[in-house]
Amino acid sequence: MMLVFMHSPIFLLGGVKIGSGTMISRNCSITTVTHSINSADRSLGITKPVTIGRNVWIGTGAIILPGVTIGDYSVVGAGAVVTKSIPAMQVFVGNPAKFLKEVKFENVTTLACHDEQ
């Protein structure tokens, strides 16, 4: 199961994989299409897949750009703009998104309860 709130456009042309248990908050944008900065080639779309791991939390208004992978159990803060991949179990915030801290689990059984195989 995953949870995606309304008003969160996901552009699928380049492919999007979203792991189980992931929560995508309101007004997030996930895009797999970009364009060349060269004006002669700008009209040609370039697709790059986005991969979002298991049990990821993407905060309200976050933007995930083409080619990004977000590792399992990571958190993307509200309003963050993710331009580069995020390793598992890390919190990233800001524009552009930057590392804030690692995700810690106080109770390992909690992790197992939310983990779907």
What is the set of active-site residues?
Answer: 35
* CA-based nearest residue to 95, from 58, 64, 57, 68: 64
Distances (CA, A) of 86 to 7, 16, 42, 62, 107: 24, 16, 28, 14, 23
* CA-based nearest residue to 33, from 65, 75, 69, 72: 65
- Are 22 and 54 in contact, with CB atoms under 8 Å apart? yes
